[in-house]
Amino acid sequence: MKLFFIIASLLIVQLSLGQESGNQNTAEIWSLEDCITYAIENNITVKDAEINTKLAEVAYDRVKSSRLPDLFGSASQSFTNGNSIDPITSAYVTEQIHSTNVGLNSAITLFQGNQINNQIEQNKLFLEQSIFQEEVEKNNIVLNILETYLQILYNKENITIAENNLAASEKEVLRAKARLDAGEIALTDFTEAQSQAATNKYNVITAKNNYQQNIIDLKQLLELPPTLELRIKTIDEDMDLINLEREKIEIYYRALDYLPEIKASEINIAANKKELDLAKGNYLPTLALIGSLGTGYSSIRDLTYSDQFDVNFNQRIGLSLSIPIFNRNQTKAAVKTAALNIEKAEIENQNIEKEVYRKVETAYQNALSAQEQVIAAEASRVAAEESYRLAQKKYELGGLSTTDLVISQNIYTNAQQNYLQAKYLNILYHQLLQFYQGNDINL
């Protein structure tokens, strides 16, 4: 009874998944190139990186404008009663005064320890770094899509293997039932065939679930709505083994020249060096040119409002010099901090280069291993298939037990799955090596 409920539950889940699979017949078919192109345009992580680049561009434009003079307008109206100084004539009077003052003030920095130039150059470096960081995010999306795409293809083929095994095991259950009714086998042989069929049904459901999970992952990378059906294009089944044309050290050096995270890290070092120049600039004086235009009106004068604005018009120009003497060691601390940040940036650059080498080394070794595994797995699959075919014939003739047939089928299933895994790993690591050399990913 317990086995009946388990099988019934599995059948219900399978029917549900089968309906979902049927609904996908009208889904749009995406190639790997389609997925990559769409994701780069729509993925929110990439969009966030693009916004960071735009922010860096705004900051760069803003700091470039610091070379320009500023200009401020001012106006004031006041009423004074009693003993006071006339704001226009500066005379000491004792009466009510209505006064108006308007003016324009401007200043331009002539020298500030080369701070402005260094700030502009640093922000330009930040902009370049943001551009490379944007490329890093795009590359991460490309690699995630490649891995997910291949995982979908793997699980799709795995579904076929599981369904074929289920069909074979269901036929074996029918044969076992006929042999049981004829008294040729024991009841345990029949129940073992049933158990294998239930296991294979479970494997089909698991394979379909894994496939659907990978589809969800890909849709999220593409930022597609949940209601949209998605199917992907299969790849050439007759792909040759990958030929590793370059040594891993050559691929590594090409990766250092190509990968944007390396360039972003190098720019980070340069930006921190500019930060040190900025900190040292605080030791130097600041010289600014200042100027103003102003006029005003006072009620105690006999002139009219417009006449006073003409008579009281004044112009002023001057220089302002600020010399740092002691600021509680703030500049000294800033210089030390900037120097330490340069060391940190250089260490970070070394770590990034080490990580790139590790990735290239791993991909290269795995590519070599995957090629050998494809050859070995193919031979194992062919041998296991022939062995299983012979086992089925022996079982039909009564020369093989159900247990031995199940073992043969499981060996064949494992051989098929090992071949699939080696096949797609071989493709994955080849594409990774192409990527590290700056070549397009293309299946």
pLDDT tens for 21-61 read: 444 344 579 999 999 999 999 999 999 999 999 999 999 99
Phi–psi pair at 418, nearest 5 degrees? -60, -40
* Complete domains list, the chain, with CATH: 8-42+114-284+328-436 (1.20.1600.10), 70-112+285-323 (2.20.200.10)
Per-residue model confidence (pLDDT) at position 28: 76
Count of positions (residues) in the chain: 443
HEC assignment per residue over the chain:
CHHHHHHHHHHHHHHHHHHHHHHHHHCEEECHHHHHHHHHHHCHHHHHHHHHHHHHHHHHHHHHHHHCCEEEEEEEEEEECCEEECCCCCCEEECCEEEEEEEEEEEEEEEECCHHHHHHHHHHHHHHHHHHHHHHHHHHHHHHHHHHHHHHHHHHHHHHHHHHHHHHHHHHHHHHHHHHHCCCCCHHHHHHHHHHHHHHHHHHHHHHHHHHHHHHHHHHHHCCCCCCCEEECCCCCCCCCCCCCCCHHHHHHHHHHHCHHHHHHHHHHHHHHHHHHHHHHCCCCEEEEEEEEEEEEECCCCCCHHHHHHHCCEEEEEEEEECCCCCCCHHHHHHHHHHHHHHHHHHHHHHHHHHHHHHHHHHHHHHHHHHHHHHHHHHHHHHHHHHHHHHHHHHHCCCCCHHHHHHHHHHHHHHHHHHHHHHHHHHHHHHHHHHHCCCCCCC
Predicted TM-score (pTM) of the model is 0.84
| Mean pLDDT computed over 134-162 | 96
Residue predicted with more confidence, 161 or 182: 161
| Mean pLDDT computed over 250-265 | 95
Of 426, 425, 420, whose CA–CA distance to 240 is shortest?
Answer: 426
pLDDT tens for 319-365 read: 999 999 999 999 999 999 999 999 999 999 999 999 999 999 999 99
pLDDT tens for 165-176 read: 999 999 999 988
Instruction: Give CA–CA dist 294/314, Å, rounded.
Output: 5
pLDDT tens for 388-408 read: 999 999 988 888 888 899 999
Per-residue model confidence (pLDDT) at position 348: 98
Per-residue model confidence (pLDDT) at position 197: 95
Per-residue model confidence (pLDDT) at position 9: 46
Contact 428, 146 (CB under 8 A): yes
Per-residue model confidence (pLDDT) at position 183: 85
pLDDT tens for 88-141 read: 778 888 888 889 999 999 999 999 999 999 999 999 999 999 999 999 999 999
Per-residue model confidence (pLDDT) at position 242: 55
| Mean pLDDT computed over 249-255 | 93
